[in-house]
Every structure is written in structure tokens, then in C-alpha cells.
Amino acid sequence: MVEGLKGDAPAYKALLSKLSGHLRAYFRGRLVRMGRGVVEAEDLVQEALIGLHTRRHTYDPSQPFTPWAYAIARYKLLDHLRRTKVSFRGLPIEDAEELIAHDDLSEAESAFDLQNLLTRISPKMRQAIQYVKLDGLSVSEAAARSGMSESAIKVSVHRGMKALALLIAKGKPT
Amino acid sequence: MKTSRFIELLSADVQPVRRGTVGKTLVLALVIGAAAAFGLMLVTVGLRPDLFEGTGSMLLAIKLLFTMSLIGIGTLFVVAASHPGRNARRRLALTILPFLAIASLGLGAILLATPMNRHDMVFGQEWLTCLVCIPLLAIAPFAALIWALRKAAPTDLRRAGAGAGLVAAALGATAYAFHCPGDSLPFIAIWYGLPILLWTLLGAMLGPRLLRW
């Protein structure tokens, strides 16, 4: 950092790269524990790097570096959490009618999405899931209708659910 | 944008940084704020005519001791609050000492006085002017201190704002002391202490809005 403050670009770059790794681990650790995403953590890494960069004149070389950098990272994390919380509070409480004023077919849409996903797994799994999970048949009924054994149905449902979960996870931006 | 690319951009053009800029900015803010408060006091309420005569001069010294000690401790706190990673809380807690000192002096004076005089001691002359002028004189120093803090990196915005409010009000009170005709210890304790505390609270409320970065 001391070299960076003097204007040594390669040293400064090396410092920022090393710091970004620590920052990423710190933000991911904190955010994931709160059930938030990895994208948010990456945004925060860059946010904190800007903070460190633009406020680097507040670092006193006679003091240890880590507490200084940590204080900025912590500030950026708290600021981010506060801001994202405020955006929820921004919903006016008087708008109770709004809940019933509009109807939405998103349930149909998400079912449509599921149909979409089902086309992307093997026909055997698709059929098993369709019977057991969607149509609500018992395993033995599904076995009788599809001509597969009960254990084959169970295995297909299990594998199919796994495959679907994987597809959903992939569908999300990471 | 990828973070690695982002780092390249940030480090592409690193200007050397001069040391001690935070301290210099704060000193500049204090000087500007003090000059503005003192100038405003001169053109509005004006100097007290018998400033250096009689008991008034001794009480002026006590007033200045009270406000200047707050400015001193408060400034030390603001300096710490401007630098991330420094523990500044203890310094903010120290600001309670001048308040305790003046409050105990004021209380002692009230207890020693005859009941007849107590009302005059507390309200003196122009207590309302005091209550109005000190906060008004503090506005310019507060703006200057916020400006300085925004150039630094406060990480506890509430406390940093409180510190700025405290120092600004103490500066305003210092300027006002050169006009103030109130000549008793309880008067100083109440009518100086109250506006300064109010400004500290106001600063704590405004800090998160004004200082975010």
C-alpha cells in the first residue's frame, strides 16, 4: 500500500488483486449466511475497491493496514445492507387494496416454466415426476400406469428432481 | 464487469497521494467555521461592551474554558472518525467531562446561593438570545466540518455527525461568549450546555444522510 500511495502502479495492482480475494471471501461469507446471492457479493467487492481507492489518502502508513481496509469493507457491507433494507420499507403500508386490486397469473406461468424444464430431462424421469409429483399418483399406481417397476419409479423421481434442481440452479445468473 | 478488469482500471492511473491531507482539511474547516461564527456574532449581536471588566471577564474565561475544551476533545474525535479503523469511541466519551465539570460548578453555585438569587442565576439576562444564537452561529462551522468529513472516510456516520455537531456548536458558543451578558455558573451550564447537546443530537441525526459515501 505504501508503494501504491507513492504512485507505484504494479505494486498497487498486486495489492488490489490480493485484497479482492479477501474481500470476496468476506462478503460471500457474510451474505450467503443471510441468504443473499453471490452477484451481490461481487458488486460489493468492486464497491469496496472503489472505496479503498478513492479514500486511500485516509490511510496513515504509520498504522497497520488491515484494520483500515477492514473498516472500509465493513462500512460498505453495512451500507449495502441498510440500503437494500430501505428499498423494502419503501413500499407504502397504505396500499393494502393493491393486494386484491390486481390478479396475476404467475402461478400458471411458473407451472408453464416447470413444463419447460421437464422437457429438458429424460422422458423416463419426466413421466415419473409427472405421475408422482404433479398428478399425485402413488408410486404403485404410477408403476402400473407406466409399466415400470416401483423401484424404477422411485429412482426416476429422485434423479429427475435432482436434474431439475440443477437446471434451476443453472438458470439463475451466477 | 469482471473484478480483475476492474482492478486494472483502478490501478492504471495511480496518482501519488500526499500525506496529512485529512488533517489539513479539518484545520481549514475549523478556521473557516470559527471565522464565520465570530464574524456573524460581530455583525449581529456585537461584542459585549464591558467584556474585560469585573466578574464578567472571569466568567468569560470559564465559558471559553468550557467551549474550548469541547472543541479540543471533539476535534480529536473527528480526526479519529475520519480515518477508518481507528477506535474513536473513547474520545467521544471523553467529551462528557467538560459537561460534568460545568454542571457540578453550576449546581454548587445554586446550592450556595440564597434562594432569592437562584432565579436570576439560572435565567440571568438574555437566556433566550443565548439559546437562539448559539445554534445559529453553529450552522456555518457545521457545514465546514461536514465538508471536511466528506473528503475523509468516516465509517460510523452517526458518531461522526455527532462529533461535527458538537464541535460546531462549541465553536458557535465560543463566538457567542464574547457577546454573552449572562454572568453566572448555572447560566453557562444550562444555556451553553443545552444548545451544544442539541446540536450533537442533530449532528447524529444528519450524519448518515450527509456523510454517506
On whether ipTM exceeds 0.90, the answer is: no
What does the DSSP assignment read for A120-147? TS-HHHHHHHIIIIIS---HHHHHHHHT
Q: Can you give the pTM of this predicted structure?
A: 0.72
Lowest mean pLDDT among A98-112, A134-148, B53-67: A98-112
* Facing residue for B11 by CB, picked from A12, A42, A58: A12
Q: Torsion angle, CA of B205/B209/B210/B211, rounded to 10 degrees?
A: 100
In A, which residues are within 8 Å of B84 by CB distance? 55, 58, 67-69, 71-72, 75
Contact A58 B84 (CB under 8 A): yes
Contact A72 B155 (CB under 8 A): yes
Is the pLDDT reported for residue A1 higher than 70?
Answer: no
Contact B10 A53 (CB under 8 A): yes
Is the pLDDT reported for residue B213 higher than 50?
Answer: yes
Q: Which band of pLDDT confidence, cut at 50, 70 and 90, is reported for residue B160? A: very high
Q: What pLDDT is stored for residue A173 in this prediction?
A: 45
Is the pLDDT reported for residue A102 higher than 50?
Answer: yes
Q: Is A55 on the interface with B (CB under 8 A)?
A: yes
Is the pLDDT reported for residue A101 higher than 70?
Answer: no
Q: Is B54 on the interface with A (CB under 8 A)?
A: no
Q: Is B82 on the interface with A (CB under 8 A)?
A: yes
Count of alpha carbons within 13 angstroms of residue A135, beta-carbon side: 14
Contact A13 B21 (CB under 8 A): no
Model pLDDT for residues B29-77, shown as the tens digit of each residue:
999 999 999 999 999 988 888 777 777 788 889 999 999 999 999 999 9
Q: Is A18 on the interface with B (CB under 8 A)?
A: no
